[in-house]
Structure 1
Amino acid sequence: MNWFDNVSSDCDQPIAPARLMQGHWRHRLHAYAEPALCRVVVDVAEPRVVAAQVIENGIARDLGASVLEELTQTLLDQEVHHHPSAWGFTECTMLPNWARPTFSERQIEELERIEGYLIEASEDTFDSVLKLRDEFLKSIGLTDLDIYRAVRQPQQGKAPRKSSRMLVN
């Protein structure tokens, strides 16, 4: 079996390679607030906001999922994805170091499918599946480190640690 033949093959529309653009945007975070400066990464192939941070008082913090959806809708309404360079966005081949990535539902499904291949892989095919995963991540502008940051970093503040004593009755 050629693992590479299966990437997105069961989808009606295969997942398009990412076309990442980064830039700044002023976005109203609350109904009555002044627009705040945000740094943004947009995938214009999808089109959606992949990552964004608000910069207030010199401190950058990640925006939550609902604000990312609002920001995506705002950029779509302004048709930024059609001519991102006209809005001051510049192309980037990989996600910037500051960005905490988010994924579309289709990307998550594809990553889960590749994970299934990893679970079923023999020693002979394991490296091929890892290569498949790396190629898929590269096509959407991400690396292993980006996946780690997306999964391991808490959304809001620090999560309480569980000690091993909590698991024992």
Structure 2
Amino acid sequence: MNHHFGNISSDSDQWVAPARLYVGHWRHPMHAHGEPVLCQVVIDAAEPRLVAAQVAEHGVAREADRRMLHTLDKVLRAQDVYDQPSAWGFTPCTVLPAWVRPTFSESQIEELQRIQGYLIEAPEHKVDTVLEVRDAFLQGIGVTDRHMCRAVREGGRYLPKNGRSTVN
């Protein structure tokens, strides 16, 4: 197994880029003719994709649903936010904020599955090495131990039933 800790975590020919995470705010209407509401957004400019969003409506923050994520992603693409996030007031971050329930791109899911396969097949003396590779990969995409603990607590809610959790 070829493991580089710069987020190339397997012998795959497909390199999975480290995340370039940005957090910011975006005003977006929840309904076709409604007033825009404030959304807190995390994007990955490397993929480019919307990682997570919260909607602040009536003073209460709640996680954006799949439909809202899809709509926000389209709007952010149309406005070229992924190309110039700082110009839109987004701030770089190295880890996902604590409120985020992360989504994963197809390439990230494939890489996590590949690492899981190595973990399953690894002889006992290599397990720690594979775990280091997995941890380095997760760190490279901004996922913290807090996110992993939340995933374990929430079980199947973290990923949809088909095992994918992507926006685009």
TM-score range, shorter chain: 0.7 to 0.9
- Do the aligned partners of residues 26 and 131 (structure 1) sit closer, same or farther apart at CA in structure 2, a change above 3 Å counting? same
Q: How many residues align?
A: 153
Distance in 2 between the 1:138 and 1:111 partners? 12
Residue type of the alignment partner of 2:69 = L
Q: CA deviation at 1:39?
A: 0.2
Distance in 2 between the 1:106 and 1:148 partners? 22
- Do the aligned partners of residues 9 and 69 (structure 1) sit closer, same or farther apart at CA in structure 2, a change above 3 Å counting? same
Q: CA deviation at 1:145?
A: 2.7
Residue type of the alignment partner of 1:73 = K
Structure 1 residue matching 2:111: 3-state secondary structure: helix
Higher RCO (CA-CA < 8 Å; seq separation 6+): 2
- Do the aligned partners of residues 6 and 58 (structure 1) sit closer, same or farther apart at CA in structure 2, a change above 3 Å counting? closer
- State the match for 2:84 in structure 1: 83
Q: CA deviation at 1:46?
A: 0.8
The runs of 5 or more residues in structure 1 that have no matched partner are 156-169
Q: Superposition RMSD on alpha carbons, in Å?
A: 1.9
Distance in 2 between the 1:107 and 1:73 partners? 21
Q: Are the aligned partners of 2:9 and 2:133 in contact in 1 as well (CA < 8 Å)?
A: no
Distance in 1 between the 2:148 and 2:52 partners? 13
Equivalent residue runs for 1:28-107 within 5 Å: 28-107=29-108
- State the match for 1:9 in structure 2: 12
Q: Deviations over 1:34-53 (max 9, x none)?
A: 11100000101111110100
- Do the aligned partners of residues 137 and 71 (structure 1) sit closer, same or farther apart at CA in structure 2, a change above 3 Å counting? same
The runs of 5 or more residues in structure 2 that have no matched partner are 158-168
- State the match for 1:159 in structure 2: none
Of structures 1 and 2, the larger Rg is shown by 1
Distance in 2 between the 1:85 and 1:121 partners? 42
- State the match for 2:165 in structure 1: none
TM-score (norm 2): 0.83
Structure 2 residue matching 1:124: 3-state secondary structure: helix
Q: Are the aligned partners of 1:8 and 1:15 in contact in 2 as well (CA < 8 Å)?
A: no
Distance in 1 between the 2:135 and 2:148 partners? 11
